[in-house]
A and B are shown apart, each in its own frame.
Chain A
Amino acid sequence: MAAIEILGLEKTYMVGFWRKRPKRALHPLHLTVEEGEIFGFLGPNGAGKTTTLKMLMGLVFPTAGTARILGKDWTDPEVKAQIGFLPEQPYFYDYLTAHELLDYYGQLSGVPGKDRKRRIEEVLVRVGLTDVKGVQLRKFSKGMLQRAGIAQAILHNPKLVFFDEPMSGLDPLGRREVRDLIEQLKHEGKTVFFSTHILSDAESLCDRVAILHQGELRGVGAVEELTSAVQGKVEVVWQGTQTPASMKALGAECHITGDTVRAVIPESQQDAAIDALRRERLKLIAITPLRTSLEAYFVEKLQHSQTTAGNAK
């Protein structure tokens, strides 16, 4: 059974003073996440990741489309007892202590009294907040709040967990701990759906990823599957607003930003690209091997969509 089936969800906001100008935040999205997998939802800021998550949580209503979560209609209140959600940059009732906050959320999730006490102690240990469980959240640092957020998301032992930018605000050690926790959740048989723009996290954790850009799904699949086509590429950046014909002949897809041009080319064409720039007397700024293969795929997808949008104009 699929854990999440997104069936054409889309969102258009009406903007402007009279709210007559439509602005599409999410194009019809079709996506399936299998049970027990760690699924990465990737995209730059403003891609539509948070909008999708908010729709799945019932915080924002879709313009069209529907979804099924754990085999049930997403609007079924029963479903919500089996999912956990960590919003982006979470903020909680700051007059409560960490223990009181978890107790309140446990009550709302329908966790019975005795179980609740035990679960609260367990998750506090798990996220490393036991020593500060009696401290009001207004005295918590950003990283501690993020930990409290993770604790409330897993408190009721949900089958499916949604994390929106779970590493945000955490130091390197904290990020490592969250990565370990996500892996533990997978070992416990839970499905984890998390959005991020930190590609290295996604690459090291996810079974499958989806890439979203400007509200459109650009690719979905296993990391190795997606990246196999873009192994060994380099990004060449030079000053100017023109692209030499010989550079285009190398198969580079160029993107102009201000007075610089960047192109992603196969690593084997690197020398030919430098020669082409020399011949045209263009100033080379940088040649950077694309650090991770997922990053290469991501950049290529984004550049492709920007070029397509530019050509359309």
Chain B
Amino acid sequence: MNARIGYIASNTFREAVRDRVLYNLIAFALLLSGAAIFVGQLSIDIERLVGVNLRLTAVSLFGVVIAIFIGIGLVSKEIEKRTLYTVLSRPVRRWEFIVGKFFGLAGTLVVNTFFMAIGVFGALLYVVHKFTASDGLILVALYFIILEFLIICSLALLFSSFSSPLLSAVFAFSLFVIGSFADDLRGFASLTHGFTRWIATGAAYLVPNFSALNVISVVAHQQPVSGQLILQNTLYAVFYTAMALSGAVLIFERRNLK
């Protein structure tokens, strides 16, 4: 990786870890994960199922909130505060700035997910007292959650490159919600005809398919996840992220920083 991208990524990571809001969100997520132990105890015989479901959902939701919350300000805040002027007046290309910011935020989310994963496994051990081979599937669910974060980060950056933080947050969160029902949207598209079918199918494939990345319920039921799905989801996330980042770069390369 280009050294300048690494420096920008590391500074973005440093900015995130020095932001108190991040710690509040992580503390809240861990609290929710802990509370899942007690909810699990109320669910006779299915403590594990309910606990894993709740904890992984907490990791996913809070990660998405962090990704959107930090991601929407990555570019617009730098323009608004004019911190970008002293960066782009150096031998830094605009695309390097965008890519560096992306890796910085992605790194923050990976580290964050790592600590939350410790919380998930710790709480699971407390409930079941010993791990079984099927608990390893939780790692697959966590991997898919990270893929989901990468897509959200790139979308937040894309919106941040041309609109205000508030609008970027609305766009990114809307896409997250719509994308979580992408399978239903595709099902709906297949029921329509003619021109509507074209539009509905186009829209269904344009929004990120977060429902394919959601295997929380499958993992909670200790059902296997196929290697093919892991490969498909990895390629899909990489492709979608690359597309969104390219869009962000294309817009940002042409933007006048008034």
> Chain B residues with Cβ under 8 A from A57's Cβ?
85, 88-89
Give the docked Cα–Cα distance between A104 and B13 (Å).
13
B197 at the interface (CB under 8 A from A): no
> In the bound complex, do residue B15 and residue A83 qualify as a contact, i.e. CB atoms below 8 Å apart?
no
> Chain B residues with Cβ under 8 A from A89's Cβ?
82
At the interface with chain A, which of B90-98, B111-119, B124-132? Answer: B90-98
* Residues 1-43 (chain B) with a chain A CB within 8 angstroms: 3-4, 7-8, 11, 14-15, 18-19
> Chain A residues with Cβ under 8 A from B228's Cβ?
none
A219 at the interface (CB under 8 A from B): no
Q: Is the interface of A mostly helix, strand, loop or mixed?
A: loop
Q: Is the interface of B mostly helix, strand, loop or mixed?
A: loop
The number of chain A residues with a CB under 8 A from chain B is 29
> Chain B residues with Cβ under 8 A from A105's Cβ?
86, 90
> In the bound complex, do residue A80 and residue B86 qualify as a contact, i.e. CB atoms below 8 Å apart?
no
Q: How far is the CB of B76 from chain A (nearest CB, A)?
A: 14
Name the CB-closest residue of A to B7. Answer: A107
* Residues 77-98 (chain A) with a chain B CB within 8 angstroms: 77-78, 80-81, 83, 85, 87, 89-93, 95-96
Pick the 9 closest A-B CB pairs, nearest first: A85-B89, A57-B89, A59-B257, A107-B7, A80-B91, A95-B18, A87-B85, A77-B91, A108-B90
> In the bound complex, do residue B91 and residue A93 qualify as a contact, i.e. CB atoms below 8 Å apart?
no
> In the bound complex, do residue A109 and residue B90 qualify as a contact, i.e. CB atoms below 8 Å apart?
yes
> Chain B residues with Cβ under 8 A from A107's Cβ?
3-4, 7
> Chain A residues with Cβ under 8 A from B257's Cβ?
54, 59-60
Size bracket, chain B contacts = 20 to 34
B83 at the interface (CB under 8 A from A): yes
Within 8 Å by CB of A60, from B7, B92, B258, lies B258
> In the bound complex, do residue A108 and residue B87 qualify as a contact, i.e. CB atoms below 8 Å apart?
yes
> In the bound complex, do residue A85 and residue B91 qualify as a contact, i.e. CB atoms below 8 Å apart?
no
A110 at the interface (CB under 8 A from B): yes
> In the bound complex, do residue B89 and residue A60 qualify as a contact, i.e. CB atoms below 8 Å apart?
no
A58 at the interface (CB under 8 A from B): yes
Name the CB-closest residue of A to B8. Answer: A108
- Report which residue of B82, B90, B256, B258 has the largest number of chain A beta carbons within 10 angstroms of its beta carbon: B90
Give the docked Cα–Cα distance between A108 and B90 (Å).
7
* Cβ contacts A to B, 28 pairs, < 8 Å: A54-B257, A58-B88, A59-B88, A59-B256, A61-B256, A77-B93, A80-B89, A81-B91, A85-B85, A85-B86, A85-B89, A87-B85, A87-B86, A87-B89, A90-B82, A90-B85, A90-B86, A91-B81, A95-B14, A104-B7, A105-B90, A107-B7, A108-B7, A108-B92, A109-B90, A109-B91, A110-B91, A152-B86
